[in-house]
Amino acid sequence: MARDRDAIVAANRKAWDAAADHHRAHDQWRDLVEGFARPDYSCLDAVLTGHLRDLGLAGAAVAQLCCNNGRELISARNLGAAEAVGFDQAPAFLAQARELNAIAGQDCRFVEGDVFAIPAEHNGRFDIALVTIGVFGWLPDLAGFFAVAARLLKPGGAFLAYEEHPILNMFEPAQEDPQKPANAYFKAEPFVEAVSLDYYGNRDYDAPPHYWYLHRLGDIITRCVEAGLRLERLEEYPHNINAAEFDIYEDQPAQFPLSYALIARKRSLPVTAVQRSAR
């Protein structure tokens, strides 16, 4: 598993690095540059902002796993986080994150490396561990990922995922009948593709092969709990946080969920101590 996982992680890193310049070429990048030049700018929507504030964002130490160009993390810092550290394996996107951070005049840190091998020096440092749109699909090992998230958190710290709903990945908006499911929800093997990752402008280019997993919501929750995180909240939403092409699935007569927020908490006491106190 580890060897396969490492090969998949390396392939996905190459694919994301190849996408970075294409993202920089679009209006969305220019909007971020202009936005972060303004004090207290945030690109976060009302749902994610509300959850972060409810978790005590003001004065908190925040880690973002698979932070891409850092826009959400810098926004969290602007909204009052005391410390913000982003982890990602794609150096080209981390270069963009550091550029946006400088434009914002902030002090976020960005750490390059395999998300499954974040150095132990970061263990127990964070009040909030954040995951945003599209991260889970790139992970060949959910259990390993949640184990890392759990060890980064302080006792009592919160894990927050604001993600596209896995049901949405059953559909392909570009197909002839976009309302007809195209992919099985219970698909076990990853998609292996060499298609554009330019979700800003949807421009085609020769992309390195990469791997995408359709993880079921039940698997995500189970791996989260198995890592020692106590589930506090799961909310499903009818709004799309994926690429704009998926907006066609909003406002349907029979609406299915398009996104969700998962909040889980690291135990304040070791499991053995919790078990003893319950006796």
Query: What is the per-residue pLDDT for 193?
Result: 80
Q: What confidence score (pLDDT) does residue 21 get?
A: 73
Structure tokens at 75: 């926004």
Phi and psi torsions of 139, nearest 5°: -100, 120
Q: Is the pLDDT of residue 22 over 80?
A: no
Task: Give percent of the chain with pLDDT exceeding 70.
Answer: 89
216-243: average pLDDT: 97
Region of poorest pLDDT, from 14-23, 47-56, 238-247, 254-263 = 14-23
Listed in sequence order, the DSSP H helices in the chain are 2-24, 27-36, 46-54, 71-78, 91-104, 142-152, 217-226, 271-278
Q: Among 72, 123, 120, 66, which residue's Cα sits nearest to residue 89?
A: 66
Helix residue ranges per DSSP H, 106-141: none
**Residue 45 or 275, more confident:** 45
pLDDT, one tens digit per residue, over 144-180 is 999 999 999 999 999 999 999 999 999 999 999 999 9
Q: 16: pLDDT confidence band, cut at 50, 70 and 90?
A: confident
**What contacts 105, CB < 8 A, 6 or more positions away?**
none
Share of the chain above pLDDT 90, in %: 78
Residues belonging to the chain: 279
For residue 33, the model assigns a pLDDT of 96
Residue 195 has a pLDDT of 60
pLDDT at residue 201, as a whole number: 47
What pLDDT, on the 0 to 100 scale, is given for residue 20? 78
Instruction: Quote the pLDDT of residue 199.
Output: 54
pLDDT, position 277: 39
Q: Residues 20-31: what's their mean pLDDT?
A: 78
Structure confidence at residue 17 (pLDDT): 84
**Residue that the structure tokens 């490492």 belong to:** 6
Comparison of pLDDT for 23 and 31, the residue scoring more: 31
Q: How confident is the model at residue 270 (pLDDT cuts 50, 70, 90)?
A: low
Whole-model pTM: value is: 0.91
Range with the poorest average pLDDT among 1-10, 46-55, 115-124: 1-10
191-221: per-residue pLDDT in tens? 888 564 545 445 655 667 889 999 999 999 9
The pLDDT, as a whole number, for residue 269 is 62
* Rounded CA separation 106/237 (Å): 32
Q: pLDDT tens digits, residue range 100-134?
A: 999 999 999 999 999 999 999 999 999 999 999 98
Q: Which domains does the chain have, with CATH numbers?
A: 2-278 (3.40.50.150)
- Do residues 246 and 133 make contact, with C-beta atoms less than 8 angstroms apart? no
Helix (H, G, I), strand (E, B) or coil at 50: helix
The predicted pLDDT at position 202 comes to 53
Question: How many CB atoms neighbour CB 75 within 10 A?
Answer: 25
Task: Quote the CA–CA distance of 220 and 135 in Å, as a whole number.
Answer: 12
Per-residue confidence (pLDDT) for residue 19, from 0 to 100: 80
pLDDT of residue 241: 97
Please, what is the average pLDDT of the chain?
Answer: 91
Which position has the token pair 């091998």?
117
